[in-house]
Amino acid sequence: MDVETTANCTCLNLRKASRAVTQFYDEAFKPVGLRVTQFSLLALVANKGPAGMKELAKFLVMDRTTLTRNLKPLIDQGFLVVIKSDDRRQRPIAITSRGRNRLAQALPLWREAQNRVVANLGRETWVGLLQSLSATVSATTHE
Amino acid sequence: MDVETTANCTCLNLRKASRAVTQFYDEAFKPVGLRVTQFSLLALVANKGPAGMKELAKFLVMDRTTLTRNLKPLIDQGFLVVIKSDDRRQRPIAITSRGRNRLAQALPLWREAQNRVVANLGRETWVGLLQSLSATVSATTHE
DNA sequence: TTAAGTCAGGTGTATATACACCTTATTTTT
DNA sequence: AAAAATAAGGTGTATATACACCTGACTTAA
Question: How does pLDDT run across A20-69, given as a tens digit for each residue?
Answer: 999 999 999 999 999 999 999 999 999 998 999 999 999 999 999 999 99
* Interface with chain A: mutation pick from B4, B5, B9, highest number of A CBs within 10 Å: B9
d(CA A4, C1' D30) / Å: 56
CATH architecture of B22-134: Orthogonal Bundle (1.10)
Query: What mean pLDDT is reported for chain A?
Result: 97
Q: How many CA atoms lie within 13 A of B102 on its CB side?
A: 25
How far: A61 CA to C21 C1' (Å)? 22
**Would you state the CATH architecture of domain A6-138?**
Orthogonal Bundle (1.10)
Task: Identify which of B65, B75, B18, B7 has the alpha carbon closest to the alpha carbon of residue B41.
Answer: B75
CB contacts, 8 Å: A56 with chain B: none
Tell me the per-residue pLDDT of A85-102, one tens digit each, with 9 for 90 and over: 999 999 999 999 999 999
More confident residue, B143 or A91: A91
- Region of B11 (left: φ > 0; alpha: ψ -120 to 50; beta: rest) is alpha
- Give me the residues of B, 56-95, that contact A with CB < 8 A: 60-62
Domain positions in chain B: 22-134
Q: What is the mean pLDDT of chain B?
A: 97
Non-local CB neighbours of B84 within 8 Å, separated by 6+ positions: none
Which H or E element spans position B95?
A: strand B93-95
